[in-house]
Amino acid sequence: AQKACIFDLDGVITDTAHYHFLAWRRLAQSLNIPFDEEDNHRLKGVGRMESLAYILDKGARTVSDDELASLAHQKNKDYQDLITGISPTDLLPGILDAFAWLKSHGWLVGLASASRNAPQVLAGLKITEQFDYVADAGAIPNGKPAPDIFLDVAKAFGLSASQCVGVEDAVAGITAIKSAGMYAAGIGDAAVLTEADIVLPTPEGLPEQVFSIF
Ligand code: BG6
Ligand code: MG
């Protein structure tokens, strides 16, 4: 049967997770709200407005809708500055091999990123054409850990969840894949990504350890 691999972007294909962290930390510091690595772990995969709400809540801060919009805009401006100049050298090890394996084995390739900046990052990395379908984060009401964005890609492919492998670095993302009923490959630390079916430290090994046994 037809199979598909559905990738997360930030932290799986390239290390933009670190840039999101830097931009959020800068915003939190400007508000005098502490922001550490643990907060960062929780915010991985979480959408822009939901992440901002988490930070404001941590600082027990309430702001007007106008200020909310301006804070989100500031974070995104800082993030976009950080990703200017992103290029194919920023691809994580093993990603191009994974794409090559998937193509030669006839799998469909999808992207399920919560980021509105995903098209720009794909273009900078020069991998836009590797994808058969890219979910539009702005058109999916329920963000990760809800399964919706992964189900959107499966639907676009006309596939059932059991024909799809999801690849994620975030706890919220792994939950989304498992809630969708898909096989979840985690990239990172097995002690953190406890819900994943398998965890690899980097995308290297995806063809041998995940795709070829699926
Ligand atoms: C996810 C990142 O991919 O996208 C999160 O893991 C980020 O850190 C989210 O908040 C939304 O991204 P953006 O670019 O739309 O603000
Ligand atoms: Mg991610």
User: Which atom of ligand 1 is least distant from the CA of 45?
Assistant: 6
What is the model's pLDDT at position 124? Answer: 97
Weakly modelled stretches of the chain, pLDDT under 70: none
Catalytic status, residue 57: no
What is the pLDDT of the chain when averaged over all its residues?
Answer: 97
- For ligand 1, whether the C-beta of 47 sits within 6 Å is yes
Q: Quick: pLDDT tens for 133-161.
A: 999 999 999 999 999 999 999 999 999 99
Bridge partner residues of 7 (DSSP): 111, 167
What is the model's pLDDT at position 166? Answer: 99
- For ligand 1, whether the C-beta of 179 sits within 6 Å is no
What is the model's pLDDT at position 161? Answer: 98
Calpha distance 110→164 (Å, rounded): 10
- For ligand 1, whether the C-beta of 27 sits within 6 Å is no
User: Which atom of ligand 1 is least distant from the CA of 117?
Assistant: 14
Ligand sitting nearest the alpha carbon of 45: 1
The protein residue with its alpha carbon nearest to ligand 1, atom 8, reads 44
Mutate to test the pocket of ligand 1, among 6, 19, 48 (most ligand atoms within 8 A of CB): 48
Q: Quick: pLDDT tens for 98-113.
A: 999 999 999 999 999 9
Report the predicted TM-score, pTM, of the whole model to 2 decimal places. 0.96
What is the model's pLDDT at position 30? Answer: 97
Ligand sitting nearest the alpha carbon of 43: 1
- For ligand 1, whether the C-beta of 114 sits within 6 Å is yes
Quote ipTM for the complex: 0.98
What is the model's pLDDT at position 49? Answer: 96
What is the model's pLDDT at position 37? Answer: 87
